[in-house]
Amino acid sequence: MSDAGAEKRIRIFDTTLRDGEQAPGCSMTLSEKLRIAKALTELNVDIIEAGFPAASPGDFEAVKAIADRNFGPVICGLARCNAADIEKVHAAVRGADKHRIHVFVATSAIHREHKLKMAKEEIIRSAVGAIKMARELCEDVEFSPEDASRTELSYLAEVVSAAIEAGATTVNIPDTVGYTVPAEFDHLFRYLKDHVARINEVTLSVHCHNDLGMAVANSLAAVAAGARQIECTVNGIGERAGNCSLEEVVMAIKTRAEFFGLETGIDTTRLYPTSRLVSNITGMHPPRNKAIVGENAFSHEAGIHQHGMLQHASTYEIMRPEDVGLSKSKLVLGKHSGRHAFRDRVTELGFELDDFETNRAFQEFKKLADKKKDVYDGDIESIIMSAGSSSSGPWALKSLEVQTHTDEPATATVSLMGEDGTGVSRSALGDGPIAAAFQALEAATGVTMVLQNFELHSASIGDDALGEVTVTVEIDGHSFRGRGASVDIVEAGCRACLEVINRSLRRRARDESPVSDDQAAHATI
């Protein structure tokens, strides 16, 4: 199939930390970004786009911290076509042995006229100047003509030729607004191959958004037409409807290898754990029927399907769950399971905990196993994620009591324990138990919160599953995201809110500048 590019190997350029993070509600702290960068390294992605250093001091620090860890993949940062942006990217990424500067400028008529107010020649001059400057600083330079799919083909070919002459080593073709369709994109890539003289000297890349649900299909059309780098994000997170989903595009190339004749370097058994990590961190959980990593992606409900599966799995299964890192049986441990079994399972799930963290998580697991018969992978992940996020005070939840009655306001009483051993207890009324508990927390801590978002997700299966709550809350004009987990969803919500209250109080105490600056100094993986 792929006669358009001789090379079989497709590079996976992950932009979860840059384009993915731009999605509403997906912003991440520095330590969360470091955890994701480490997971992407274990997944064996080729390039990590770690952020947009000129966007904020926090972004700069995050890209720099990731680059300085020198995880292994190429570390890339995004820049507009100006000297300040390019210098910032270089300063942020240079700590990694392999680093890249990615410059972009929009080229479509709509962007030229309404956004940039620049003529065609001016845009080419700006791109050429930026690429030349970036090449003086770094050997590896990527150029993206933003909104390429809506740019006149002949002008796009002119821009790409000029970019290659200026020294770009990768040319990326974005479908910025998710507008193209596979046949049209195939034509665009073949046009560039035919009309840009030195195109075979650079890596041709594709970057698709999912506004019409075709990001994966369009990316596959581009590689079939000769692209050798795919830009994508874990769980397909990103602006609006998101970006090309890493797990889907990788498994399409692997499962249909005989059709595409291509391969990636991805360790596909890390796909599911990485997806879980990103959804736990962002609080954005893929729908149950999401391809590859959705809860139902490998479940068979209809009797006729189950019968076929029992005869031979290939009747209804084109991929094996274990190929994407989903263990056959998700039932793992119970109250009689020991520390060794727990530690082994934690390691299999991709977590690296030190002795202190293992002990803390094991104690939480034992408490949970007393409350519910079967403990699943999702429950264990949830315990570890919440332990990591709620470990610092000043306040810890001692107890919560809630009363509800139809047609009457709910009452909640929270008792908190401070770091210095002092306790405080407050009660409040609310329209429902969650509102009452949040108001009791405000009264107990003296922190006023504006709740912006509340999401509830079940960590595993069954009516006794751990409920995971992710809240986005505004305190002192800053937005914080917090997580909490419990078999009681009101308690999970309280724990999530208490996490953000604690963070805001620590911030106040340190009279911080932006949160991420401070986290830069304290971050650990």
Which residues here bind Zn ion, judged by CB under 5 A? Answer: 19
Helices 83-93/57-69 angle, 10° precision: 40
CA dist., res. 275 & res. 504, Å (int) = 28
From 154-162, 172-180, 438-446, 500-508, span contacting ligand KIV (CB under 6 A): 172-180
Shortest separation between residue 182's beta carbon and ligand KIV, angstroms: 18
C-beta closer to Zn ion: residue 150 or 483: 150
Pairing state of beta strands 203-208 and 229-232? parallel
Yes or no: say if 19 and 239 are a contact pair by the CB < 8 Å rule. Answer: yes
C-beta closer to Zn ion: residue 19 or 85: 19
Residue 236 token pair? 């397909």
Shortest separation between residue 22's beta carbon and ligand KIV, angstroms: 8
Q: Is 112 in the site for ligand KIV (CB under 6 A)?
A: no
Counting residues that bind ligand KIV (by CB under 6 A) gives 10
Residues 6+ apart with CB under 8 A from 456: 467, 468, 469, 489, 492, 493
Contacting ligand KIV within 191-210 (CB under 6 A): 207, 209
CA dist., res. 385 & res. 369, Å (int) = 17
Shortest separation between residue 246's beta carbon and Zn ion, angstroms: 14
Q: Is 480 in the site for ligand KIV (CB under 6 A)?
A: no
Can you tell me which of 144, 218, 229, 470 binds ligand KIV, judged by CB under 6 A? 144
Residue bearing tokens 């306790």: 423
Shortest separation between residue 162's beta carbon and ligand KIV, angstroms: 18
Q: Is 174 in the site for ligand KIV (CB under 6 A)?
A: yes
C-beta closer to Zn ion: residue 19 or 32: 19
Binding mask 209-228 for ligand KIV (x = CB under 6 A): x-------------------
From 168-176, 371-379, 423-431, 483-491, span contacting ligand KIV (CB under 6 A): 168-176
Residue 314 token pair? 């290939």
C-beta closer to ligand KIV: residue 238 or 433: 238
CA dist., res. 147 & res. 177, Å (int) = 7
Residues 6+ apart with CB under 8 A from 326: 272, 297, 298
CA dist., res. 225 & res. 215, Å (int) = 15
C-beta closer to ligand KIV: residue 172 or 472: 172
Best CA proximity match to 361, nearest among 525, 485, 501, 493 = 485
DSSP 155-201: HHHHHHHHHHHHT-SEEEEEETTS---HHHHHHHHHHHHHH-TTGGG
DSSP 390-408: S---SEEEEEEEEEEETTE
Shortest separation between residue 207's beta carbon and ligand KIV, angstroms: 5
C-alpha 156: how far from chain center: 31
Shortest separation between residue 298's beta carbon and ligand KIV, angstroms: 31
Shortest separation between residue 172's beta carbon and ligand KIV, angstroms: 6
Yes or no: say if 271 and 237 are a contact pair by the CB < 8 Å rule. Answer: no
Q: Is 99 in the site for ligand KIV (CB under 6 A)?
A: no
C-beta closer to ligand KIV: residue 114 or 398: 114
CA dist., res. 8 & res. 483, Å (int) = 42
Can you tell me which of 14, 19, 46, 379 binds ligand KIV, judged by CB under 6 A? 19
C-alpha 55: how far from chain center: 18
Yes or no: say if 503 and 393 are a contact pair by the CB < 8 Å rule. Answer: no
Contacting ligand KIV within 78-97 (CB under 6 A): 78
Q: Is 104 in the site for ligand KIV (CB under 6 A)?
A: yes
From 89-97, 171-179, 254-262, 392-400, span contacting ligand KIV (CB under 6 A): 171-179
Q: Is 146 in the site for ligand KIV (CB under 6 A)?
A: yes
CA dist., res. 362 & res. 364, Å (int) = 5
Q: Is 185 in the site for ligand KIV (CB under 6 A)?
A: no
Residue 146 interaction partner, one of ligand KIV, Zn ion, none, beta carbon < 5-8 Å per kind: ligand KIV
Residue 144 interaction partner, one of ligand KIV, Zn ion, none, beta carbon < 5-8 Å per kind: ligand KIV
Q: Is 486 in the site for ligand KIV (CB under 6 A)?
A: no
Q: Which parts of this chain interact with ligand KIV (CB under 6 A)?
A: 19, 78, 104, 144, 146, 172, 174, 176, 207, 209
